[in-house]
Structure 1
Amino acid sequence: MQNEATTEIPVHLLFRDEPEPRPVPLGPAVVAGRTGPATGGQAAAAGERPRFRRPVPAKERPLAPQVDPDLAERPARVLPGTLGVAAGACGAAGCAAVSWWAGLVPPLAEEALRLPVYAGAGLGPAQWAAYAGAGALTLFGFGGLARGRTGRAWVLGLFGRYRGTVRRTGLMWVNPLMLRRRVDVRLRHWRSEPMSAADGNGVALRVVALVVWRVRDTARATLGVDDHETYLRECVEAALARVPVEPPGAGRGPVEASGEALTRRVARDAGAVGLEVFSVQPVRVEYAPEVAAAMNRRRIAALDAQQRASVLTSVVDSVEDTVTRLTMRGLVELDDYERKALVKDLTVAFCSGRGEQSP
């Protein structure tokens, strides 16, 4: 070891050397006349190890279905219906004038209309062009007329692009090249067919739900999904599969709680496609056919046991009241054996009387 030579090897650390913190003079933190605890910097200067809070993991919430955010209802540009009628009338009058110009009007019609006699220039390029212009004006004027109704809306599209929604009523003129889709925006209710559900214990049920809803955003309801009514039906079925429903015979409170939970879930899922759900209430709840017989027997047995417990309680109260009155008024003096015999006889008598009255 004495003949060996040693060499210093520099080691480069992966982190950068930071300057040592300067000592901070410690002083009492006076707040409102009281000495408070040391701050974080003071604790570090004093040599205390800083404490860090552990991040609390956020609860994962189920995300609602997303639709194109740019797809939203906006008003479409339409014209009053009187302009369309006037344009169509002008086009028809132009066609008649071109016919008279070309000499196609019969003499009898000219006499009836008191038109000046004109031999006509015939059907030339100018006449055909005038016919085309007047005919196009007539078609556009009369073809664009539409009637808006209360509670109905028109969703307009041009060459596959959404151009707006018309909620106006009365006669109006819409570009005849636009595709029109009528949407019912009134308040509607839908009564479902029996759907599969389960209660809190997992027992299979059949539920008929009543849904009160309406279309709030016509663009999303028409263009966001293929059929918004089918989508609403699927949302109700999915909610019934996730939310436990109270079985038949439950109180009013649990049934209302189930309805509120169903309403919240269906409203969240259907709101993404422009549907506004006001209420989802189970109007008929019954057990599924495969468990209906067993659950009915169980329910009848529970009612029978409850009735027997009620009858036994009333009999015991009656016997106790009878024995207490006899002894307190001094009508009889009973020892323990006689008291037991009297209680036994009264119990048998009251139970027999209850049994005869129950049928």
Structure 2
Amino acid sequence: MSGHSVPMTSSRERAGSAYNGYLMLAIFSAITLAVVFMIIGAIPPEGAAKSVKLAFVGTLVTGALAVLFGLIGFFMIQPNQAAVITLFGEYRGTVRKEGLQWVWPWMIKQKVSVRAHNIHSEKVKINDLRGNPIEVACNVVWRVSDTAQAVFDVDDYKEFVNIQIEAGLRTVGARHPYDDMSDDDKTTLRGSADVVNAELREELNERLAVAGIVVDEAGLTHLAYAPEIAGAMLRRQQADAVIAARKKVVIGAVSMVEDALAKLSQDGIIDLDDERKAAMVSNLMVVLCGDREAHPVVNTGTLYQ
């Protein structure tokens, strides 16, 4: 017999109703004063029967409990805060109106902050597209957009966010190489920050949608090779830099030699045959491309001796 998973029903936030807390506070204050005056007027005289005294005590306790019970229904809503109202386990709506509010005391109120939260993740060690171990971390700005989903569809939405940030970071980090090692690497983690950050934000929004959470901003804050390969990759980057510098030096030297030969020929300073041109080009390239200072050698004869 094969089992079938039951799809989870997604909750949806709806507006909840609450009474104006300031009005209810005035009403309860008036009721409290009335109860106090009634109790004062009902104080039994000395020598009253025991039953009368017990009735007075019962009235006093009942009035005090009624007032205290009514005060339980008051709650305050701060700016960018909401209160999820439930009645015997049933969702009865979300109150977002700021200020003092009042609901029936048997209704449970759970406050949820809808302000922007900022999380800087821990460094996560992952493998990039080429399998190189790297360390990455990110900064995420998120907020609760649907309080019903955040409270009822996940167990702990804040812990859920932390776990999904790490999972999303691993997913996006594994899609691209750390650096462009070939011409096919169009998007890299190091060189395509805007693209990678946009992918990370989209990935997190998809993962956190089930909890009614929206990611406003996400971006990498740390990116480096893992310590075990950092030295080798540093030497590779240094080699790439040396090759690029050598290439630029050679191109510049060739241009300078070409200009020198053209100038000598144009001004008629000296008429060089192919062999002398080759020797001159060789000498100039050695001087211009060499790492060490050139030491001239005086030739008192001719090129052919």
Does TM, normalized by the shorter one, top 0.5? yes
Match of 1:76 among 7, 16, 21: 16
Q: How does 1:28-177 map to 2 (within 5 A)?
A: 67-69=8-10, 71-103=11-43, 123-124=52-53, 126-177=55-106
In terms of mean alpha carbon deviation, does 312-321 or 175-184 score higher?
Answer: 175-184
Q: 1:72/1:132 Cα in 2 relative to 1: closer, same or farther (>3 Å)?
A: farther
Aligned equivalent of 1:320: 258
Q: How does 1:319-358 map to 2 (within 5 A)?
A: 319-352=257-290, 355=292
Q: 1:276/1:121 Cα in 2 relative to 1: closer, same or farther (>3 Å)?
A: farther
Secondary structure in 1 aligned to 2:192? Answer: helix
Deviations 1:5-24 (A, max 9, x none): xxxxxxxxxxxxxxxxxxxx
Deviations 1:111-160 (A, max 9, x none): xxxxxxx7796744653453344224311333222211101111222333
Q: 1:218/1:167 Cα in 2 relative to 1: closer, same or farther (>3 Å)?
A: same
Secondary structure in 1 aligned to 2:211? Answer: coil
Distance 2:58 2:129 in 1: 77
Q: Which one scores higher on RCO, CA 8 angstroms, separation ≥ 6? A: 2
TM-aligned CA deviation for residue 79 of structure 1: 0.6
Equivalent residue letter for 2:221: V
In terms of mean alpha carbon deviation, does 251-260 or 223-232 score higher?
Answer: 251-260
TM-aligned CA deviation for residue 85 of structure 1: 1.4
Q: Which ranges in structure 1 are unaligned for 5 or more consecutive residues?
A: 1-65, 105-117
Aligned equivalent of 2:184: none
Aligned equivalent of 1:299: 237
Secondary structure in 2 aligned to 1:284? Answer: strand
TM-aligned CA deviation for residue 81 of structure 1: 1.1
Deviations 1:214-233 (A, max 9, x none): 10111111221122122122
Deviations 1:41-68 (A, max 9, x none): xxxxxxxxxxxxxxxxxxxxxxxxx642
Equivalent residue letter for 2:127: A
Secondary structure in 2 aligned to 1:264? Answer: helix
TM-aligned CA deviation for residue 258 of structure 1: 1.7
Match of 1:279 among 185, 193, 217: 217
Contact 2:189–2:196 under 8 Å retained in 1: no
- Greater gyration radius: 1
TM-aligned CA deviation for residue 251 of structure 1: 8.4
Q: How does 1:200-349 map to 2 (within 5 A)?
A: 200-243=129-172, 244-247=175-178, 254-349=192-287
**Percent identical:** 31
Secondary structure in 1 aligned to 2:106? Answer: coil
Contact 1:91–1:135 under 8 Å retained in 2: no
Contact 2:176–2:189 under 8 Å retained in 1: no
Distance 1:129 1:85 in 2: 25
Secondary structure in 2 aligned to 1:272? Answer: helix
Aligned residues: 276
Give TM-score, length-normalised by structure 2.
0.80
Equivalent residue letter for 2:92: R
TM-aligned CA deviation for residue 98 of structure 1: 3.6
